Amino acid sequence: MNSSSNWKILSIFLLAAFSLSLILPLEDQNLGEYALGQVTSDANASDHAGHEQFSEVIDNLKIQLGDDEISFTALRDYGLRNQLNYSAYFEPPSGVLGTIGARIIPFLVKPGIRCGHIKDRSTRNDFVLRTLLKKVTSFHQAWIGPSRRDCLHHGSHRS
């Protein structure tokens, strides 16, 4: 092999590794745990009394739900009940380098969620939660669709 072939093969392997990192996870993750790992900031104490940190939200939900897994609807309803602004917990990075780093290497620099353009709090919360839900849904679930067993378990089936 000559040197021109070596750099081509190396670039193909790097491109394949980057592509694989973009389609991960291959299996579904827990929404609450994933969201807790993506938190970039604490909320304002005056606006979110008793919920300054997102871990407090998750802990309160775990107490309320018991053994049940934290779901999209549980987070949405909890946010409505307590008038929380979820975008305060997922601030995007500031500056050019932070933004570029979050786009290129999101597994090292937490990208946050950009939703400052949405004025209504409940719509903004839905946007934040849907963004998180998209990221925890597995590649198989997102692109191929739910299995028949999952549809029967959740009570819905697409024909």
Residue 126: the pLDDT is 92
pLDDT in tens, 42-87: 887 767 777 888 888 889 888 988 877 888 899 999 999 988 888 8
Cis peptide before 93 (omega within 30 of 0): no
Provide the percentage of residues in the chain whose pLDDT is more than 90.
8
More confident residue, 152 or 12: 12
Q: Which residues contact 39 (CB under 8 A, 6 or more apart)?
A: 53, 54, 55, 89, 90, 110
Provide the percentage of residues in the chain whose pLDDT is more than 70.
80
Q: For residues 24 and 137, what is the distance between their CA atoms, to the nearest angstrom?
A: 9
Residue 26: the pLDDT is 63
Please, what is the average pLDDT of the chain?
Answer: 79
Mean pLDDT of 140-150: 51
**Residue whose structure tokens are 């081509």:** 8
Residue 77: the pLDDT is 93
More confident residue, 140 or 51: 51
**Which three-class secondary structure state does DSSP give residue 18?**
helix
Q: Check pLDDT > 80 for residue 109.
A: no
* pTM check: above 0.85: no
Q: For residues 8 and 86, what is the distance between their CA atoms, to the nearest angstrom?
A: 44
More confident residue, 137 or 40: 40
Q: Which amino acid is at 9?
A: I
More confident residue, 96 or 29: 96
Q: Which residues contact 3 (CB under 8 A, 6 or more apart)?
A: none
